[in-house]
Homo-oligomer: A and B are copies of this chain.
Amino acid sequence: MSANSADLPDIDKAELRRLQVLDAAAACFRLAGFHAASMASIAKAAGMSVGHIYHYFANKEAIISAIIDREQHKQLQVIHMLLRAENTIEALIEHAEQGLADSLDLSNSALNFEMIAEASRNPKVAEMLQASNRVLHEFGKDIITKARVDLPALSEEDNNARCDLIISLFDGLSMRAISNPRLNTQAVLPALQRTIVQIVRS
């Protein structure tokens, strides 16, 4: 149908424009933070006029929300992709290297810090992070349970606690990238892997 072949590209185009704005905004937010980045800078980075951005987003806050939403999905997807098929502790250990690298990559974590800072004052943003975290926990629960098939089952609370500890390790390491730029990846990796095993199986 002509309507179909004409409409779909239009819908796609609009969605593409939206993504174009989000990419530009993410870049600006990374460089300047949510508040210091101006709509003008985002428009420039997106190659579009300031006014036109308001066709796709109600206001700056909506862009921030969309960014946070997308970023959380991206992070979950990365984890999913890494551990999908296998979903075992061996996979977790094996991929710790990639996880460590990601944690230490400032271009990954800069937006994350912005989100955490924002969430610490904005309950709506906090809820977004929490929703994402619930999925992460669901995922971690599986891995831990599988990894302990030969050991006594854990209480739900204990399982969650261990899960929190592992996530904390990676989140905390992303903060290290800033406070300790001389952090030695090669020295940290084995210790990190040992620690993960210990958390899961002790």
Contacts and interface: CB of A to CB of B under 8 A. Distances in A.
Contact of A175 (B36, B165, B168): B168
- Main SS of chain A's interface residues? helix
Contacts of A173: 164-165, 168, 172
Interface stretch (A1-9, A59-67, A80-88, A113-121): A113-121
A76 interface: no
A195 interface: yes
Interface residues of A, number: 56
A168 B160 CA distance: 18
B165 A168 contact: no
Interface of A: 30-33, 35-36, 106, 109-110, 113-114, 116-121, 126, 129-130, 132-133, 137, 155, 157-158, 160-162, 164-165, 167-173, 175-176, 178-181, 183-184, 186-188, 191-192, 194-195, 198-199, 202
20 contacts: A32-B121, A35-B36, A132-B179, A133-B179, A158-B187, A161-B183, A161-B188, A164-B176, A165-B195, A168-B169, A168-B175, A171-B175, A172-B172, A172-B173, A172-B175, A191-B199, A191-B202, A195-B195, A195-B198, A198-B202
Given A129-B179, A133-B180, 12 more contacts: A33-B118, A33-B121, A110-B121, A113-B116, A116-B178, A130-B179, A158-B187, A165-B192, A167-B179, A168-B172, A172-B173, A198-B202
